[in-house]
Amino acid sequence: MARLPHALREGIRLLDVHTHIGVSPFLYLTHAFPYCQSLRDAHDQNLRAGVSHAVVFPMGETVYYHLPSLAKNQIRAEGGLGKVPFAFENEHLLRQLYEQFPGCRRNFIPFVMVDTLRETKAQARFLEKLLETWRFYGIKIHPRTTHARIATLGREGRPLLEFARAHDLPFLFHAAWPGSADPLSNIQELFVLARAHPGLRFCGAHFCSFHLPTWETAARLDNVWVDSAAMTIGCECVRLKNGVYESGPSKVPADYRDPPAVFAELARRYPDTLMWGSDNPFHTWVSTQRLSSGKWSRCRLWSDLEREVELLRDVRGALRRKVAVENALRFLEG
Ligand SMILES: [Zn+2]
Residue boundaries of the structural domains of the chain: 6-333
- pLDDT at residue 103, as a whole number: 94
Q: Compute, in angstroms, the gap from residue 172 CA to the centroid of ligand 1.
A: 10
| Average pLDDT taken over every residue of the chain | 95
Per DSSP, helices labelled H in the chain are 6-9, 25-29, 39-49, 67-71, 87-95, 120-133, 143-146, 158-167, 187-196, 212-220, 231-240, 259-269, 305-310, 317-321, 327-333
Q: 163, exposed or middle or buried, with CB in 10 Å at 0-12, 13-18, 19+? A: buried
Instruction: Give the model confidence (pLDDT) of 130-139 as tens digits.
Output: 999 999 999 9
Q: Compute, in angstroms, the gap from residue 3 CA to the centroid of ligand 1.
A: 24
Q: Compute, in angstroms, the gap from residue 282 CA to the centroid of ligand 1.
A: 6
Q: 192, exposed or middle or buried, with CB in 10 Å at 0-12, 13-18, 19+? A: middle
Q: What is the β-pairing status of strands 171-173 and 224-227? A: unpaired
Q: Compute, in angstroms, the gap from residue 87 CA to the centroid of ligand 1.
A: 19
Q: Compute, in angstroms, the gap from residue 113 CA to the centroid of ligand 1.
A: 11
Q: Compute, in angstroms, the gap from residue 273 CA to the centroid of ligand 1.
A: 18
CA distance 286 to 22: 18
Q: Residue 1 pLDDT > 60, yes or no?
A: no
Residues β-bridged to residue 253: none
Q: Compute, in angstroms, the gap from residue 68 CA to the centroid of ligand 1.
A: 24
Instruction: Give the model confidence (pLDDT) of 203-220 as tens digits.
Output: 999 999 999 999 999 999
Instruction: Give the model confidence (pLDDT) of 263-320 as tens digits.
Output: 999 999 999 999 999 999 999 999 987 766 777 778 899 999 999 999 999 999 999 9
Instruction: Give the model confidence (pLDDT) of 166-199 as tens digits.
Output: 999 999 999 999 989 899 999 999 999 999 999 9
Instruction: Give the model confidence (pLDDT) of 236-278 as tens digits.
Output: 999 999 999 999 999 999 999 999 999 999 999 999 999 999 9
Q: Compute, in angstroms, the gap from residue 174 CA to the centroid of ligand 1.
A: 7
Segment 58-71 mean pLDDT: 93
Using a pLDDT cut of 70, give the percent of the chain over it. Answer: 99
Amino acid at 150: I
Which of these ranges, 44-58, 72-86, 207-221, 244-258, has the smallest mean pLDDT? 72-86
Q: Compute, in angstroms, the gap from residue 125 CA to the centroid of ligand 1.
A: 25
- pLDDT at residue 63, as a whole number: 94
- pLDDT at residue 291, as a whole number: 67
The half-sphere exposure of 302 on its side-chain side, counting CA atoms within 13 A, is 1
- In CATH terms, 6-333 corresponds, of 3.20.20.140, 3.40.50.300, 3.30.70.100, 3.40.50.720, to 3.20.20.140
Q: Compute, in angstroms, the gap from residue 279 CA to the centroid of ligand 1.
A: 5
Q: Compute, in angstroms, the gap from residue 275 CA to the centroid of ligand 1.
A: 14
The answer to whether residues 185 and 175 touch, using CB atoms and an 8 Å cutoff, is: yes
Q: What order of strands is seen across the sheet that includes strand 139-141?
A: 112-114, 139-141, 171-173, 202-204, 224-227, 274-275
Please confirm whether the linkage preceding 249 is cis (ω < 30° from 0): no
Helix, strand or coil for residue 246? coil
Segment 30-41 mean pLDDT: 96
Listed residue (323, 307, 305) closest to 315, CA to CA:
323
Terminal C-alpha separation, the chain: 5
Q: Compute, in angstroms, the gap from residue 100 CA to the centroid of ligand 1.
A: 24
The answer to whether residues 323 and 308 touch, using CB atoms and an 8 Å cutoff, is: no
- pLDDT at residue 288, as a whole number: 81
Q: Compute, in angstroms, the gap from residue 18 CA to the centroid of ligand 1.
A: 6
Q: Compute, in angstroms, the gap from residue 19 CA to the centroid of ligand 1.
A: 7
- pLDDT at residue 237, as a whole number: 96
Q: Compute, in angstroms, the gap from residue 229 CA to the centroid of ligand 1.
A: 7
Segment 5-32 mean pLDDT: 94
- pLDDT at residue 292, as a whole number: 67
Q: Compute, in angstroms, the gap from residue 206 CA to the centroid of ligand 1.
A: 8
- pLDDT at residue 131, as a whole number: 96
Q: Compute, in angstroms, the gap from residue 280 CA to the centroid of ligand 1.
A: 7
Q: Residue 19 pLDDT > 60, yes or no?
A: yes
Q: Which residues contact 44 (CB under 8 A, 6 or more apart)?
A: none
Q: Compute, in angstroms, the gap from residue 45 CA to the centroid of ligand 1.
A: 17
Q: Compute, in angstroms, the gap from residue 257 CA to the centroid of ligand 1.
A: 23
